Amino acid sequence: MLEVGITHTESIMVTEQNTAAALGSGTVKVFGTPAMINLIELTCAQSVQGELEPGQTTVGTHLDISHDAATPIDMEARCTSELIEVDGRALKFKVEVVDDLGVVGRGTHSRFIVDEEKFTTKAYAKLNQ
């Protein structure tokens, strides 16, 4: 059962592959914002997946995130999420990303519970229009 207060943490090592330079979001070799966003989405999705009905999943719908500090290659970035709102199938999370020296980014992320098969079928129906 989905209830406000569910928390979860995921982490990733910063490597050459997830830098801003490698992802095209900048030219510096530090943890890229797209990689941070991916870590946030992963953390939130994983936090609730075990509470969903068979065949259900969540999809990201909104991000309001700040990226406040650079994390260099060979340092770990950790994201912690907390489910702060459940409104039917709409979920809202508070998130914070940190490295060994402090806060890297924070904000909120919204996800929506969907039937995975129906969602995928509808998305791919666009190819036949």
Find tokens 């995975």 and name the residue: 116
Query: For residue 76, what pLDDT band results from cuts at 50, 70 and 90?
Result: very high
Cα–Cα distance, 82 to 55 (Å, whole number):
23
> Does residue 1 fall inside a structural domain?
no
β partners of residue 115: 56
Angle, CA of 12, 73 and 80, to the nearest 5°: 30
Residue 71 a catalytic site member: no
Does this model's pTM top 0.85?
yes
> Does residue 12 fall inside a structural domain?
yes
Residue 33 a catalytic site member: yes
> Does residue 11 fall inside a structural domain?
yes
β strands within 14-101, DSSP E = 56-67, 76-87, 90-99
Q: Which residue in 10, 19, 41, 109 is the catalytic one?
A: 41
What pLDDT was estimated at residue 1?
Answer: 77
Cα–Cα distance, 82 to 43 (Å, whole number):
10
Residue 67 a catalytic site member: yes
> Does residue 49 fall inside a structural domain?
yes
Cα–Cα distance, 78 to 74 (Å, whole number):
13
Tally of structural domains, the chain: 1
What pLDDT was estimated at residue 45?
Answer: 98
Structural domain span for residue 69: 7-128
Q: Which residue in 8, 67, 71, 109 is the catalytic one?
A: 67
**CATH code for the domain in which residue 12 is found:** 3.10.129.10
> Does residue 2 fall inside a structural domain?
no
Q: How far is CA 55 from the centre of its chain?
A: 20
